[in-house]
Every structure is written in structure tokens, then in C-alpha cells.
């Protein structure tokens, strides 16, 4: 019996070794096809993102965003390929603006790998999870929903939300020179983002102080959770919903887990029903000639109804169902809450590693050790547009150029989405600029079915396009800059339709906070300034780039 087991184990071992030998030979032959550098790793996606960074085994893991362009610098190329034994084709990583522009704009040769995004069909198909003619239909209907009128409402709603935050957190009561500490500012910024989206996307009368959500917290019909509560839970639990299979929700009596999963399932069900009921009610009110509240949700269902009988791509007809209206509204909630909430965190003490617009010799230091005149630059600019005591108006948006530069520089160093996947739909080629030789243009062959990753943090710090790329210098965006090398909202036809929405809301937030308060990062007991700086730079890519741990801040009222 023992000899049979030994023989079986030996045969399995021989098979495994033979299989690996075959795979490694295939990798070697692939490496001879193109001249770009290769990086080998044993694990494929998504497993490699949960395995430590190990040379020759797993050199690219989920912390790759923090490396930025360094890996490309080491191999002297802004394009490289990765090899995995289990994959038929090499995968290509791009930090070159020319190649990225081609991949983003040439929809004939390049597509979005939709199978990676199907998990976001939680409420229905949407702009993110579709491709081809179906995506065009979504884009045609969704695009007009973001108009100048919407942005003006977003501006005013952001002012209301920010004023509520000042009141609730005690900032409004501070006298000049007085200060107050806020523990874990990410909770503040995420709540601000949620309030703006709740009001502008759904017309939910959500308050910054959840205890005052009397209108939005009222139960309706057979609902077991208020609209505000359901929206809050969904916005915080999307990753759990995506990762947990349906059978996990049926397991009873797991301490904490079962109760938490039940609440998440209940929230998703309630929010889904609320949105479908809202659509039915608004249609009925519109047909009756009654006034309907204007918001993003209203724009979507009206546009969908107007396009029911229109054609896409000649003979192909595409109807936009109620389920797809709900699906797109959810995607705006997810994108707005995640990216705006975490991006605002980046502005506050600093932009994670670098303090808020206070810089010397191209590098920022924390406010307590800075040259005050450097901090004054942004403040003086804001005061020329928004003197203290004057309420901002939407027309101020275009005038706050330095504030926008700070926003862009923050997003350059800390983009919300670190990687953008693409796949080749046919045999094609890519041109890129060589950085290891004479900076000439090179061309590589890309077989059909090749996975390509747009590496946003690396592109944003490629020294070909950015002088002193790791330094926080907002002034670079006050001059001409490499627009094709700056893609915080993606690029090409699939660029984020909500870009202006995010910019408007964040401009309100950043301008008024800087105008009225000095924001200081608080070191932990016994923590040096350098250690605090290193702690604040830590982040992790979850759904978007997310800060690691709590960040406590001190807000001091300006004189």
C-alpha cells in the first residue's frame, strides 16, 4: 500500500515539474518576441495582491502604487511586461503617455475587460460594467445628466454640508487663535461626501449630523430601514457585498459576522426598493403635471425614457431599463463617496505625505516647522477671490486657480485609482518613448488577448513629463503641463463623467477650510516628525486608494 502511495506522489510530482517546465519554456519563448524588459512572478491576479512583495516570486503586489516610477527607472523603460506561468500571454504595464493614449482612445484595438467589473452589477448594469454598443447607450443617456445646472447645485449643496460639518464638529464656535482636535478626519470627509451625494443624486434630506436626519430617517411603506440609513450602510459596505458569496449571508449565529451581513443585505434591499419606488412616484407625478425634484436620479430616468425608441449603431436598438437607471445611480454613489471622501483626506493635513500647500525647495514639511510665507501663498490667493465673511458663489469656481492646482497636484501624487486594466481585441502594436537610450520612439507587437495595465502612479511621476516628480508643487499646474500624462479621472472616451462634480465639491471644501482654519497633523506620543510623515503616507488600494489607520488633526481658527 505504501509503495502505491509513493508511486502516486512521485507521478504527481513528475507531472507538476513537467508542467512547470513547459510553462517556463513558454515564458522564455514569449520573452524573445519583444524587446521590452520582463518581470516574472509566480502568482497571477488576484492572488498576487495578497502575497508579500518577494523578488522573483511576487515582485508586484498591492503596494506597487507607493513605488510609483521607481521600478521603471530600475529597468530603464516606461513599459515592461510581466510573465506568469498560468497565463497564455504576457501582461504589459504602461507608464508612457503615448502608449496610454493609444490604449485609452483606440476602441477598435483595445477594450475594457468587463469580466473584472461584473461584481459591480449589484443594482444593475451601468456605465462602468458595460462595453461596446451597450456602453455607448449608457454613455449617451448618462452624459447629459451632468450639466452646468447640476454643478451649480453641487456647489451650493457642498456649502450647506460644510457649514453643517463646522457646526457639528465645533469649528464654527472657535474664536481666532482657538483650536480643536478632530479624531480620524477620514470619517469627517467620508460623511461630507455622502451628504453631498445623498442630496444631489437622490434628493434625500440627509444632514451631516446623523442624529438630525429626521426627514431622511423616516420609514416608508414596508421598509425595514430608512433611506438615509440604507444609503449610509451601502456606501460603507460595498466591498463586503462584492467579496462575500450569497451563501455566507445564510449562515446563522456567527458572532458579529452574521449580524453584520444581515444588516448589509437589508440595506442593499431597502435602497434598491427605495430607488425603484422613487422612480415610479416621480413618473406618476410628472404625468400628473406636478413638480418633481431635480437631481441626478431624476435626470437619469427622464433621459432613459426619452431614449427608449432610439437606435444605437444603426439597426441595434438598446432600451434603458429601470434596473439600469438604478445601477448607474449606485455607481455614482460608489465613485463619489469613495474618491471624494478619500481625496479630501489627502488635502487636509497635507496631501498624505506632504502638508497642505506649505512647501520649501520643492518639498513640503509639516506646518509647525515650515516657513510661514510659503503657506501664505494659497491663503492669499483664496482671499483675493473669497474675502473672509463673503459666501462663495458658483461663479468663483473658475477663479480659484491655485486651489485647483492643489487639487490636481494631490491627485497626481495620490490618484484614487492606481491601475486601469485594458485588453487587446486584435493583434496590434504600441509605440512608446524609450527612456533607457536616446529617448527615441519604439514599437512593440501586442498579440490579441494581451492584458495591459495603465499604471497611473508611475505615469504621474515619470520624469519624462514631470520635473522633480516626487515633490509636491501645485504651481506646476498653473503653467503648461503634460495633459496626456495626467489621468486621475482615467482617459479617453471612458474618462469619468463625474469629474466636474468632484472638482466642484472639493473646491468648496478645500477653499473654505484653508481660508478659515490652519490644519495641523498631530503626532502620536513619542512620534518624531519623520515617523509621522511616514505614517501618513501609508495607504492601501481597496476600491480606491485608502489611507491606512486613523489620522487626527488640529483645526486652528485663523485670525
496 has binding-site annotation = yes
- State how far Cα 263 lies from the chain centre: 25
| 48 neighbors 41 (Cβ within 8 angstroms) | yes
d(CA 505, CA 407): 11
Torsion of CA 455, 459, 462, 468, to 10 degrees: -120
Q: What share of the chain is helix, strand, coil (3-state, %, to 5)?
A: 50, 15, 35
d(CA 505, CA 513): 13
| 405 neighbors 390 (Cβ within 8 angstroms) | no
411 half-sphere exposure, CB direction, 13 A CA radius: 24
DSSP conformation class of 488: B
- State how far Cα 306 lies from the chain centre: 31
d(CA 534, CA 359): 17
**Residue 452 — φ and ψ, nearest 5°?**
-125, 135
CB atoms closer than 10 angstroms to residue 33: 12
Angle at which helix 499-516 crosses helix 401-413, to 10 degrees, equals 110
d(CA 333, CA 233): 12
The C-alpha angle 370, 376, 377, rounded to 5 degrees, equals 110
351 half-sphere exposure, CB direction, 13 A CA radius: 24
Q: At 447, is the secondary structure helix, strand, or coil?
A: coil
Q: Which three cell numbers mark 141?
A: 443617456
Q: Output the furthest CA–CA distance in the chain (Å, rounded).
A: 89
On the question of a cis peptide bond just before residue 178, with omega within 30 degrees of 0, the verdict is no
Which ranges of 288-400 does DSSP label H, i.e. alpha helix? 296-306, 322-335, 341-347, 372-385
Element (H, E) at 363: strand 363-364
Which residues are documented as binding site for heme? 496
Which residues are documented as binding site? 496
Amino acid at each position: 500500500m505504501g509503495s502505491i502511495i509513493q508511486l502516486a506522489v512521485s507521478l504527481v510530482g513528475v507531472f507538476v515539474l513537467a508542467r512547470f517546465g513547459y510553462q517556463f519554456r513558454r515564458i522564455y519563448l514569449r520573452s524573445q518576441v519583444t524587446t521590452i524588459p520582463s518581470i516574472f512572478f509566480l502568482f497571477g491576479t488576484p492572488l498576487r495582491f495578497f502575497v508579500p512583495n518577494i523578488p522573483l516570486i511576487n515582485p508586484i503586489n498591492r503596494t506597487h502604487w507607493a513605488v510609483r516610477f521607481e521600478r521603471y527607472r530600475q529597468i530603464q523603460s516606461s513599459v515592461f511586461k510581466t510573465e506568469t506561468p498560468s497565463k497564455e500571454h504576457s501582461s504589459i504595464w504602461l507608464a508612457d503617455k503615448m502608449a496610454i493614449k493609444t490604449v485609452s482612445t483606440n476602441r477598435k484595438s483595445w477594450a475594457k475587460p468587463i469580466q473584472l467589473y461584473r461584481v459591480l452589477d449589484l443594482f444593475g448594469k451601468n456605465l462602468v460594467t458595460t462595453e461596446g454598443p451597450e456602453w455607448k447607450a449608457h454613455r449617451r443617456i448618462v452624459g447629459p445628466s451632468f450639466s452646468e445646472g447640476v454643478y451649480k447645485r453641487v456647489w451650493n449643496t457642498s456649502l450647506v454640508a460644510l457649514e453643517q460639518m463646522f457646526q457639528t464638529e465645533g469649528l464654527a464656535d472657535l474664536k481666532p487663535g482657538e483650536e480643536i482636535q478632530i479624531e480620524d478626519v477620514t470619517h469627517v470627509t467620508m460623511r461630507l461626501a455622502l451628504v453631498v451625494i445623498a442630496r444631489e443624486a437622490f434628493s434625500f434630506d440627509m444632514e451631516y449630523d446623523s442624529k438630525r436626519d429626521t426627514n431622511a430617517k423616516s420609514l416608508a411603506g414596508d421598509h425595514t430601514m430608512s433611506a438615509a440609513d440604507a444609503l449610509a450602510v451601502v456606501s460603507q459596505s460595498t466591498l463586503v457585498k462584492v467579496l462575500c458569496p450569497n451563501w455566507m449571508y445564510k449562515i446563522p449565529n456567527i458572532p458579529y459576522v452574521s449580524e453584520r451581513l444581515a444588516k448589509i443585505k437589508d440595506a442593499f434591499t431597502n435602497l434598491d426598493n427605495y430607488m425603484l419606488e422613487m422612480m415610479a412616484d416621480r413618473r406618476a407625478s410628472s404625468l400628473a403635471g406636478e413638480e418633481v425634484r431635480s437631481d441626478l436620479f431624476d435626470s437619469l430616468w427622464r433621459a432613459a425614457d426619452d431614449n427608449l425608441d432610439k437606435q444605437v449603431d444603426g439597426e441595434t436598438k438598446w432600451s434603458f431599463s429601470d434596473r439600469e437607471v438604478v445601477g448607474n445611480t449606485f455607481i455614482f454613489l460608489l465613485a463619489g463617496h469613495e474618491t471624494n471622501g478619500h481625496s479630501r483626506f489627502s488635502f487636509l493635513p497635507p496631501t498624505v505625505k506632504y502638508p497642505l500647500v506649505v512647501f520649501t525647495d520643492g518639498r513640503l514639511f509639516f506646518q509647525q516647522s515650515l516657513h510661514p510665507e510659503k503657506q501664505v501663498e494659497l491663503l492669499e490667493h483664496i482671499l483675493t477671490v473669497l474675502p473672509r465673511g463673503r459666501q462663495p458663489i458658483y461663479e468663483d469656481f473658475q477663479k480659484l486657480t491655485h486651489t485647483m492646482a492643489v487639487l490636481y497636484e494631490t491627485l497626481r501624487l495620490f490618484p484614487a485609482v492606481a491601475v486601469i486594466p485594458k485588453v487587446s481585441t486584435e493583434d496590434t502594436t504600441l509605440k512608446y518613448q524609450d527612456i533607457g537610450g536616446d529617448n527615441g520612439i519604439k514599437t512593440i507587437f501586442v498579440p490579441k488577448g494581451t492584458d495591459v495595465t495603465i499604471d497611473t502612479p508611475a505615469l504621474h511621476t515619470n520624469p519624462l513629463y514631470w520635473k522633480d516628480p516626487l515633490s509636491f508643487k501645485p504651481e506646476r499646474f498653473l503653467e503648461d503641463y503634460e495633459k496626456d500624462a495626467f489621468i486621475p479621472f482615467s482617459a479617453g472616451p471612458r474618462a469619468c463623467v463625474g469629474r466636474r462634480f468632484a472638482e466642484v465639491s472639493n473646491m468648496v471644501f478645500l477653499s473654505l477650510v484653508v481660508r478659515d482654519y490652519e490644519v495641523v497633523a498631530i503626532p502620536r506620543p513619542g512620534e518624531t516628525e519623520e515617523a509621522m510623515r511616514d505614517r501618513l503616507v501609508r495607504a492601501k488600494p481597496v476600491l480606491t486608494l485608502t489611507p491606512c489607520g486613523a489620522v487626527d488633526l488640529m483645526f486652528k481658527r485663523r485670525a
